[in-house]
Structure formats: C-alpha cells, structure tokens
Amino acid sequence: MTRSIYRPPWRIDVDVRDGVSPPASRAGLARAIAGALEAVGAPAPASIGLILTHDTEIAALNVEHMGHEGPTDVLSFPMLEPDAFYRTGPDDARPRRRSMRTPAQRRPRVHIGDIAISVERAIQQAEQGRGGHTGDVRWSPADELRLLVTHGTLHLCGWDHAEAEEEAAMRALERELLAAGR
C-alpha cells in the first residue's frame, strides 16, 4: 500500500509491501528523507519513492539492476544527474538547497528517484550488531532503517562512497542527519 507524505516542498511516496512490518513509522522515515534532501540542496518541489520490501524482492532487483546475486540492504535509482544538486564550492561536500520556485513562476514537481530497502535485512543487521554500514554498530532496527533511508536518499542526490574521501564525507553527513533527527 502506497501512502504519500508531504514534507513541503517534497512529496515522499512510501510503499510498504505486503507482509512487511517496518520498525519505524512512515512519517519518521519521510522526515529522514526530507532532512537529507534539505541538507544536500535537492531541487524543489520534488518527489521520491520509498519501497519497503523483503529480501526476496530486493535480491531480484539487485540481480536485475546491479548484476549482483543475493539480497542487499538498500538500492537507489536516481532520476536526476548529480549536477541537479548545487554545491557551495568545488571542495565543499555540503550542498546548498536549490529551489526551483521563484516568485514569478512555479515549476512542476520533479521526481528525484526511488529507494528500495529490505526491512528484513535492516532488522537482521541491527539485531546482529552489523549495522551502521560499518558492520559494527549495535542499535535498534528503527535506527538502522533510518540510516538506510538517509543513505539511499544521499545516493539519489549524487553522493557516493567509492573513494575514501567521498565515503568520509557521506558517513559524516549521515551521522549528522541521524543525530539531528532524534
């Protein structure tokens, strides 16, 4: 069942698959997404799709879109190029918000992309103390799910962790956003 949650200027469409019981509220996850969008200078108004699913579906998506066997915790499917998100300077990892609205005009809502998260995987990682993307964080399944939502949103907005410097910036922003969302 899909439910649209409005966190102006963003709309977050949360789809919880049958049989999936998220350990965090839809509204709380939408707040986490909105916080990440604000922090990275996402265009506005815009929408994001969030699919909360199970290992079976995410494993199929992982094979189809990433060429990797087996389930993963989060997959992001960006619809915009990274340059759609303004940054304050070439060396500054903190973008500023880009508004697509001006007093003279109102632009249509753009779709930033979709995030798929295995709630089953998030719960397992948290319960086994393998959370936090480092594999050594012990916290609640709700905290792990909020991290995955934040992580997926940052990926939609052009953030990555392939290089050590990128990873350090992304992890620092994730920690900041999670602390602010408590």
| CATH numbers and ranges of domains, the chain | 2-180 (3.40.390.30)
| The two three-digit tokens of residue 95, written as one number | 């973008």
Residue-level pLDDT at 103? 44
Query: For tokens 């991290």, what's the residue?
Result: 147
- E-assigned strand segments in the chain: 2-7, 10-16, 43-44, 46-53, 74-78, 98-99, 110-118
Q: Which pLDDT belongs to residue 49?
A: 98
Q: Note the pTM of the prediction, 2 decimals.
A: 0.86
List for the chain the helix, strand, coil content (%; round to 5).
40, 25, 35
User: Could you tell me the sign of the dihedral formed by the alpha carbons of 42, 121, 163, 113, in that order?
Assistant: negative
Per-residue pLDDT of the chain (182 residues; tens, 9 = 90+): 899 999 999 999 999 999 999 999 999 999 999 999 999 999 999 999 999 999 999 999 999 999 999 999 999 999 998 888 765 433 455 444 444 444 445 678 999 999 999 999 999 999 887 766 666 667 899 999 999 999 999 999 999 888 899 989 999 999 999 998 76
DSSP secondary structure code for residue 160 in this structure: -
Cα–Cα distance, 151 to 145 (Å, whole number) = 10
User: How would you classify the pairing of strands 46-53 and 10-16?
Assistant: parallel
